[in-house]
A and B are shown apart, each in its own frame.
Chain A
């Protein structure tokens, strides 16, 4: 199950953070998302990445905590997506497809003419759409 998704802006500031779990872990999830930015920084600035992965938006598993796995995604506009899941054996392909859907939703949200780029995303329809994507992630894993 996905417990948290986040959109992080250029200054590493949170633009959107939604947790889908009980309240106990909500602050912990904030910390997890914040700390995983370190790994994103390291991966993005690491010049060792081969040419084939230069245009890769999916950053892979950022770091495993014991109860969660954290995945990252970097859009072409350098906006970061972070997803925290409790499923400890997730297929990369599923995560990739999740991020693709999430990216599409994000693009639609920031295309709103009333959205100011760089500001937090407060759109309700975006939240609803993200909720749907997150819910659809769970059952596909059990199949």
Chain B
């Protein structure tokens, strides 16, 4: 497309000529150019330059009445002329002062106008006079204007005033000018078009050339006007007439005639395609193009210049592809949902530029092919030889060539004969290297196809490129490209296509001197599944030769004897075959051990199976089998015959003294002393099918005699460890308790082996799975480990300095000792037969958890460098020793009014916090229940405030009321112990931490001298301390006697600074009579205490409920009701007799 002249590639733009006032040309040109649609300007600085507008002497043949046969269809410069030299409008610019001032200047202006008029005479070019005023005040008189108009013979509207005194005026004037120009241009091109159209309509010209020319011109004029549909119509017409003319015209010699017609057809078709594509009609454009191709494909012309046809043909595809690419935005996917059906006869690729690039490349190859033939035939026929003339140049008509002849100073242009033209065209064509052009086209197609995901089509384009490189002897590039193509065909198993590509590759490798690759490609070819079916004999597979069995055999013989021929190089060719190599079909090695595991030093048998798809039998002179344990390697030097498509099975025995994995790595086959194939051994169980042979309809064969082994056989075997002769014992004394250091004794006794380099590994694993012994969130803190391996005690070196374990660890670096939270390693000293060694694992549980303890001992028995491992495991559960609980209470018959309790009654959804009364004795009862299976000794129980007891500010006082009486309280499983504490808060606080209850205990074991004391903590909740506004207390004797009156006082203390009003009431009771107010109200002064006094007489004995006492605070609308226990009293039937000796003090009431 770039070869086309610019005026053809871009839509035409109207042309306006400016003359006079050169200083204004630039702003006017710039403005017109930026208009939509733009207008080009031809700026002539002064009137003397206007002669460029003059017409040539020879008249346009259109207007000549006597038709002379035209010498060509389209003139080469016609389009350019109309775009750059023939304006639609000529604008003469005069300054206002030139007109109105000096008469001499007026005369000059008149002369200039006359000149202009004469220049454009005979054309329909419009004349516009522009009067340039620098100031709006410079108004010209009416009669001067009229005189000027008359001189110029123009309408009044074609005389324009151009005011430029300020920006807005200038803009306005420019706009006015532009719209006038646009209008006049439209009229001009319309008239020109109409004029030519009338010629066509008037008489059908005897010369189709003229018809084509006229149609072309009308279309161009329509394009000037941006009337695309008319342009399209006349281009189509021109194209039609041209096609008809192809068979009838006799004006030029036949070869040149066809060249001219095709050139014109190409240009017209280019215009049509451009118009269609820019109009978004991509389907029509494609259909139009296909028709174009179909029409001209058979118009090859004479055989000696058929290369010209194919070159032209290829160019059609290239140009169309480029056009499609530039208008790629309008992809047709939305237009037709499904291609390839009767509704949409196109397929996807016809809308892709890549498709056309590829075809362009194909036809360029065709051209080169024809060119080569033409060149040959030219040299064959020396009689007809015509020297190519030196000075051939394009003639004045498009698509024609002419010869320049210089005779002295006179230069004449002569037409060419066909023979001369052919010679010239041949000489021109031979100058170009087509192969690079072809490669570039294929490359563009390939890139475009792969970006669309069409891998196979891209592959075909790559193949085209590779063939071109091959043809131009660039074997390096060629081989690289062929390799990528071969990979594709190998993957999908297209053997015939692969055969062709491998043929090229083999030849490339041969020419590049790559011995290994040559052999590899040859062997792969020989092992390809291609069979003679009759046709293959005659297909041209390139250097590969026919894809027949005999050819395969021939290639195999060549490859196997290749190194012998190049005798100077004695080194054999080495080929590596891995599980993805295409050479697996040449030699496939499967190795299967018959067992899965074997004892050390006993015999393991294995089968080595070889399979080859080479067409001929070959002999393996030496077979070397290599293992990961080099001691097991073996080789077979008896010649082995490998038959085509048949497993050769060899059974061998190996013996390994080393435990672990014994794996067969490679099998090397030496063939003919010049080829070594090194195959990676494959397990029959995991062996993949050969990509090229797996679709062949062949009998299924197995690499081993036993088909079961073929399905399960492995190329590796496990060599077991020798049996350990060591006892490893783990003991434990029942469940572990959370908090204590729990000891697990480990005993190692040698029962036959001498233990060298023994190493004991300890691992703690969560028995319920998960493996993690720490909470996932806080892995960093040591406290977060639920179970922790603390240390290993009882080691000989530790006994000496038990306190400084860290130091011993550092100094004795040869003694491995590492302990982490769940993992530990400790070394075991050398133990002779019968000796024993023991240690204790110390483990602490932070949370109750079930844990598996794994202990494994690894050692070397004797001198052999082989480790033996013994494993033991033990499941231990860590349990909580105590179930601890607590309860808050108030002192008996004392009720403080706590506001937060009232609030929580109103809104029970709020978080409930225990409230304690300020400066009152609040009782806490802590109970601890032994929930283990063993008896425990309780040492102490105390409440420790948070931050320790010696805190600066005492927030509350703690007093132990009852607790552990003697030093150690033994309590059996299930027994509960209670401690009673009194807490007196000193500060009112909404959130007060009461600290933790520490319970110190030991295991109750008799055999240990000094059992370790363990502290279990139970944290008390946060409480709210507040000052009760009212405190009610009931004072009452501890018991009563029937009929004996007693006093009951209700004391209500007002702790506030306000006057408190209370209501109080006492219910009735059958068992008592009392004196005092049933219901009453009272007021209590700030800080004072109200004492209500009642006298009761009980009627009946036993536990009796006092009348219900209710005290209501009016201010807080709160009731203080003593609990049922507080309202209960025991009534004796008569005065009791207590033993005075025992509890004399209790009698005093």
Contact = CB atoms under 8 A, between A and B. Distances in A.
A12 B293 CA distance: 33
Interface stretch (B188-196, B301-309, B450-458, B912-920): B450-458
Contacts of A101: none
B697 A37 contact: no
Nearest to A127: B533
Nearest to A49: B338
B541 interface: yes
Given A13-B695, A37-B456, A61 B340 contact: yes
A11 B337 contact: no
Contacts of B350: 63-64
B494 A13 contact: yes
B345 interface: yes
B497 interface: yes
Interface in A57-83: 59-64, 66, 71-72
Nearest to B542: A27
B338 A63 contact: no
Contact of B460 (A12, A13, A35): A35
A125 interface: no
Interface in A79-111: 92
B535 A62 contact: no
B342 interface: yes
Contacts of A37: 456
Contacts of A136: none
A19 B535 contact: yes
A42 B454 contact: yes
A61 to B, nearest CB: 4
Interface in B526-546: 535, 537-541
A39 interface: yes
A122 B338 contact: no
Interface in B580-635: none
Interface string B487-521: 00000111011001000000000000000000000
A48 to B, nearest CB: 6
Contact of A39 (B347, B359, B500): B347
A14 interface: yes
A50 interface: yes
Interface string B330-356: 000100011111100101111000010
B334 to A, nearest CB: 10
A30 B455 contact: no
A11 B700 CA distance: 20
A107 to B, nearest CB: 17
B696 interface: yes
Contacts of B337: 48-50
A116 B338 contact: no
B456 A27 contact: no
A19 B941 CA distance: 101
Contact of A27 (B540, B695, B697): B540
Contacts of B339: 43, 60-61
- Which of B340, B349, B449: most chain A CB closer than 10 A? B340
B695 A9 contact: yes
Contacts of A63: 340, 347-350, 355
A119 B342 CA distance: 34
B340 A23 contact: no
A119 B539 CA distance: 25
A72 B494 CA distance: 18
Contacts of A92: 341-342
Contact of A23 (B333, B538, B697): B538
Contacts of A71: 340
Contacts of A61: 339-341, 345, 347
A26 B539 contact: yes
Instruction: Tell me the interface secondary structure of chain A in the complex.
Output: mixed
Interface in B336-384: 337-342, 345, 347-350, 355, 359
Contact of A15 (B454, B500, B695): B695
A55 B347 CA distance: 20
A53 B456 contact: no
A66 B293 contact: yes
Given A19-B535, A62-B340, A119-B695, A39 B348 contact: yes
Nearest to B488: A34
Contacts of B348: 39, 42, 63
A27 B340 contact: no
A60 B337 CA distance: 13
A120 B697 contact: yes
A60 B122 CA distance: 61
A60 B457 contact: no
Contacts of B497: 27, 30-31, 34
A38 B454 contact: yes
A62 B338 CA distance: 11
Interface residues on A, range: 35 or more
Interface string B862-905: 00000000000000000000000000000000000000000000
A49 B340 CA distance: 13
Given A31-B497, A63-B347, A24 B697 contact: no
Contacts of B297: 66
Nearest to A36: B456
B341 A60 contact: yes
A66 B363 CA distance: 12
A35 to B, nearest CB: 5
Given A60-B339, A60-B340, A62-B340, A14 B454 contact: no
A60 B342 CA distance: 8
A118 interface: yes
B40 to A, nearest CB: 42
Contacts of A118: 695
Contacts of A11: 492-493
Interface string A18-30: 0100011011001
Contacts of A121: 697
A49 B336 CA distance: 11
- Which of B339, B359, B455, B698: most chain A CB closer than 10 A? B339
A101 to B, nearest CB: 20
Contacts of B695: 9, 13-15, 118-120
Contacts of A60: 338-341
A94 B500 CA distance: 34
A30 B499 CA distance: 12
A66 to B, nearest CB: 7
A30 B541 CA distance: 12
A14 B491 CA distance: 12
B833 to A, nearest CB: 64
Contacts of B463: 31
A38 B696 contact: no
A12 to B, nearest CB: 5
- Which of B333, B350, B493, B695: most chain A CB closer than 10 A? B695
Nearest to B492: A12
A42 to B, nearest CB: 6
Contacts of B698: 119
Given A15-B695, A35-B460, A38-B456, A27 B492 contact: no
A23 to B, nearest CB: 4
Contacts of A42: 348, 453-454
Contacts of B347: 39, 61-64
- Which of A23, A26, A27: most chain B CB closer than 10 A? A27
A121 to B, nearest CB: 8
9 cross-chain pairs, A with B, having the tightest CB-CB distances, nearest first: A60-B340, A23-B538, A61-B340, A13-B493, A38-B454, A63-B347, A119-B697, A60-B341, A12-B492
13 contacts: A12-B492, A14-B695, A23-B537, A23-B540, A24-B539, A26-B535, A30-B496, A35-B456, A38-B449, A48-B338, A49-B338, A115-B697, A116-B700
Given A15-B695, A27-B540, A42-B454, 13 more contacts: A13-B494, A26-B539, A31-B463, A35-B456, A38-B456, A39-B454, A48-B333, A60-B341, A63-B340, A66-B297, A92-B342, A119-B698, A120-B696
Interface of B: 293, 297, 333, 337-342, 345, 347-350, 355, 359, 449, 453-457, 460, 463, 492-494, 496-497, 500, 535, 537-541, 695-698, 700
